[in-house]
């Protein structure tokens, strides 16, 4: 058995055990966010509402796939190990494709995101205002601490929605303590675009790094699957 079944089996088991624990950690962080654990929120410095669900979904997927790999390795199940390897290879391909797109079409994606913000703002400010778009854009302003498409000027008025301001100004006290133009946050389009510009390449780099580690896991899995199949044939 060229791969050394016992060695590969235990390496694959511990590799997936670590991945499973990381998956549970991500799920725990996501649940902590949803339960509004102040200490965790302050530590990670984020308040994006969708964040907890991203953590939970990614963590759950990691745990399920890693659990499949662990079980397949310990039970020496050819079917489970091959299934695990296929899942892992699919994830690797997706990560590489996303990374390449982020590196290659970063500017185009940024422009598309900013255009999307503009379209959403236009929907909520049309004559036939879309209430759903109004609610979504208001939440967008609150989460990203921004105002309007390109700025407060898009509203064309002195007083603004409360979601446009983080802090009130002196003028706000004379305007019924409402959010005013002078205290408004910057435009949502540019701010979200800058946020994407800041994180797209680091995210792509991390995805490629993780993919390289996953390739090693997939190779171990395929090697173990081949060894198990050879053992089954030998003792058939």
Q: Is residue 127 part of a domain?
A: yes
In a domain, 120, yes or no: yes
Q: How far is CA 126 from CA 5, 121, 186, in A?
A: 66, 9, 22
Least Cα distance to 210 among 88, 104, 106, 29 occurs for: 88
pLDDT tens across 77-133, in order?
A: 888 889 999 998 998 898 899 889 888 988 898 999 999 999 889 887 665 666 778
> Is there a domain that residue 235 lies in?
no
Instruction: Give residue 175's pLDDT.
Output: 67
Domain that holds residue 208: 105-216
pTM value is 0.69
CATH of the domain at 133: 1.10.1450.10
Residue 124 domain-assigned?
yes
Higher pLDDT pick, 140 / 35: 140
Question: Which residues, including other chains, have CB under 8 Å from residue 5's CB and lie 6 or more apart?
Answer: 76, 224, 227, 228, 231
Mean confidence (pLDDT) of the chain: 82
Residue 4 within any structural domain of the chain:
no
pLDDT (tens digit per residue) in 24-56? 887 887 777 667 555 444 544 444 455 567 777
Angle, CA 40 vertex, CA 36 and CA 46 arms, to 5°: 80
Indicate whether 130 belongs to any domain: yes
Is 38 part of any domain?
no
The token duo for 22 is 């990381």
Count of domains in the chain? 1
Is the distance from CB of 147 to CB of 164 less than 8 angstroms?
Answer: yes
For residue 45, is it within any domain?
A: no
Contact 178, 45 (CB under 8 A): no
pLDDT digits (tens, 9 = 90+) for 102-112: 889 888 989 99
């Amino acid at each position: 058995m060229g791969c050394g079944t016992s060695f590969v089996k235990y390496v694959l088991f511990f590799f997936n055990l670590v991945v499973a624990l990381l998956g549970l950690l991500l799920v725990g962080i996501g649940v902590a966010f949803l339960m509004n654990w102040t200490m965790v929120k302050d530590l990670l410095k984020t308040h994006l509402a969708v964040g907890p669900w991203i953590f939970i979904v990614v963590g759950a997927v990691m745990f399920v796939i890693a659990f499949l790999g662990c079980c397949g390795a310990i039970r020496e199940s050819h079917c489970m190990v091959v299934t695990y390897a296929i899942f892992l290879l699919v994830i690797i391909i997706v990560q590489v494709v996303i990374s390449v797109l982020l590196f290659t079409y970063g500017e185009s994606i940024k422009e598309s995101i900013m255009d999307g913000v503009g379209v959403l703002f236009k929907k909520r400010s049309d004559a036939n205002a879309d209430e759903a778009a109004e609610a979504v854009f208001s939440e967008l302003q609150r989460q990203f601490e921004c105002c309007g498409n390109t700025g407060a000027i898009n509203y064309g008025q002195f007083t603004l929605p409360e979601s446009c301001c983080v802090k009130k100004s002196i003028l706000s006290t004379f305007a019924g303590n409402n959010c005013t133009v002078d205290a408004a946050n910057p435009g949502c389009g540019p701010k979200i675009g800058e946020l994407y510009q800041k994180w797209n390449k680091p995210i792509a780099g991390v995805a490629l790094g993780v993919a390289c580690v996953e390739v090693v896991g997939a190779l171990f899995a395929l090697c173990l699957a081949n060894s198990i199949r050879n053992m089954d044939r030998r003792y058939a």
